Structure 1
């Protein structure tokens, strides 16, 4: 039953991104390394950088690279631990699909205790100039792992 609940939540669009090769990729840097990080006793999440690009249909997207560390005593993965969202102009950005350089599988890969990995998530942009607020909360709870604003221009 729990597996079905997790699968349903994962497909609800609440910050879960997927990817595949894209036909277009005009990438421009949005920000650089070490934008923000937050730790608690179970996980650590850090934004390593971000860039503006386009998806398969030519829509503007923001690609954010995260570093995810499992500090707990059991296996964890980004998808079922973190609820990642991006907001622009106060409105949640939709998930971006079929994005070159973004591996959807990475969010689902389990990490053993003490392990660290990097992964990328993509969010559809309303425009390429307004800042984007990144918010990562505990997936089943209200604990905020990270809040940071990314300036696009």
Structure 2
């Protein structure tokens, strides 16, 4: 009987040792790639990686622990980390994953100004510490063609149309272009053209400076200058007149963007003649 008892104890001890050894080599988390895409941010462009992560520990796992352990290289160049603002519709909020459960984790990298094309390759590598002996182990390595990476863009909640373009002078020898717009607010809040739209005009590749209409100029009589910053409610429209100084008779490029969108969505791009 003693021999049997001893044998049973030996088996239990061996099982405990086996469990401990197995646990020591287990990573704190594992993950698979759920989605990779690019999107604009307020100050550039981000490459975003959504991971489906599993927590192997006995306690909570912070999302950012996984996110900041992910390394991304594009055509051999390491990318610096970035983030999506909370108002970005594609952002996943930071949180915690319970023991033994899985959750979505988001990592972002700055690709503003990074030169790449559809043939470029993105390499993702994720490491984790092991639970017991705290050694670094690889838990994910994946190569993705940038041809398979979707570019996500927002749609502006504002609409602007060009009603009329007039080339004239300001009465003091400076040639100017006067542009009449119709601004429509399709957002939920009242706002103005000046608050909602970023307006850029270029001639010969150089940004044009704003001009003005003298008080006695005939074009001042039929348009209220204050319309630029007059708030209008959702669904309403208003006419706006803008003036810029010309530097030559070359075509003028107009670009209007939504300054309230997370990625500066383009509202209108147009080239006009001013000869």
TM-score by length of 2: 0.39
Task: Show the 5 A alignment for 1:110-125.
Answer: 110-125=231-246
| Structure 1 residue aligned with 2:254 | 134
Deviation at 1:54, TM superposition (A): 1.2
Higher relative contact order (CA 8 A, sep 6+): 1
Q: Using a 3 Å threshold, how does the CA distance of structure 1 residues 56 and 139 change in structure 2: closer, same or farther?
A: farther
| Structure 2 residue aligned with 1:45 | 160
Deviation at 1:48, TM superposition (A): 1.0
- Tell me how far apart the structure 2 counterparts of residues 56 and 113 of structure 1 sit (CA, whole Å): 38
Tell me which of 259, 265, 274 is aligned to 1:143.
265
Deviation at 1:41, TM superposition (A): 5.0
Does residue 75 in structure 1 map to residue 190 in structure 2? yes
- Number of corresponding residues: 113
Q: Using a 3 Å threshold, how does the CA distance of structure 1 residues 98 and 126 change in structure 2: closer, same or farther?
A: same
Deviation at 1:61, TM superposition (A): 0.4
Unmatched tracts of structure 2, length 5 or more: 1-154
Deviation at 1:85, TM superposition (A): 1.4
Q: Using a 3 Å threshold, how does the CA distance of structure 1 residues 149 and 79 change in structure 2: closer, same or farther?
A: same
- Tell me how far apart the structure 1 counterparts of residues 240 and 159 of structure 2 sit (CA, whole Å): 13
- Tell me how far apart the structure 1 counterparts of residues 193 and 239 of structure 2 sit (CA, whole Å): 10
- Tell me how far apart the structure 2 counterparts of residues 66 and 52 of structure 1 sit (CA, whole Å): 15
Does residue 85 in structure 1 map to residue 200 in structure 2? yes
- Tell me how far apart the structure 1 counterparts of residues 163 and 254 of structure 2 sit (CA, whole Å): 13
Deviation by residue 1:83-133 (Cα, 9 ceiling, x = unmatched): 111110000010002343253311010001110111110010002x21000
Unmatched tracts of structure 1, length 5 or more: 1-39
